Amino acid sequence: MGKIINKKDIKHIAKLAELKYSDAEIDKITDQLDKIINHITKIGQADTSNIVPTSHVLEITNVYREDKVRISFTREESFKNAPLEDEDGFKVPKID
């Protein structure tokens, strides 16, 4: 089984996903993901010419709501689970 995924890939994917693996963890996850992705590549063998992709198993279309106002949160409800907030909003560290 050839390697599909290497450490560099893992670092790139982790960056996209806003995750972080320590140097100690990275070999393990690389190995695990490589095995899984190797297994997944099996789908490549299926003949899907002229086959449309399925996003929804049900053929439902045009589901809308009317433009009617519903009750919003109170300020307290908004902040109920907030890790850190002040008067005006959710506080977050400096944006980089």
Chain contacts with another protein (rule: CB under 8 A): 5, 9-10, 13-14, 16-21, 29, 32-33, 35-37, 39-46, 48, 51-58, 60-75, 77-84, 86-96
Minimum Å gap between C-beta 88 and another protein is: 5
Minimum Å gap between C-beta 57 and another protein is: 3
Q: Please, which residue, 23 or 80, has the CB nearer to another protein?
A: 80
CA-CA distances (angstroms) from residue 62 to 59, 65, 67, 90?
A: 10, 10, 15, 35
Minimum Å gap between C-beta 84 and another protein is: 7
Minimum Å gap between C-beta 87 and another protein is: 8
Residue 39 CA, chain-centre distance (Å), reads 21
Q: Calculate the CA dihedral of residues 14, 19, 25, 31 and round it to 10 degrees.
A: -40
Q: Please, which residue, 2 or 42, has the CB nearer to another protein?
A: 42
The C-alpha atoms of residue 30 and residue 16 are separated, in whole angstroms, by 16
The C-alpha atoms of residue 32 and residue 38 are separated, in whole angstroms, by 10
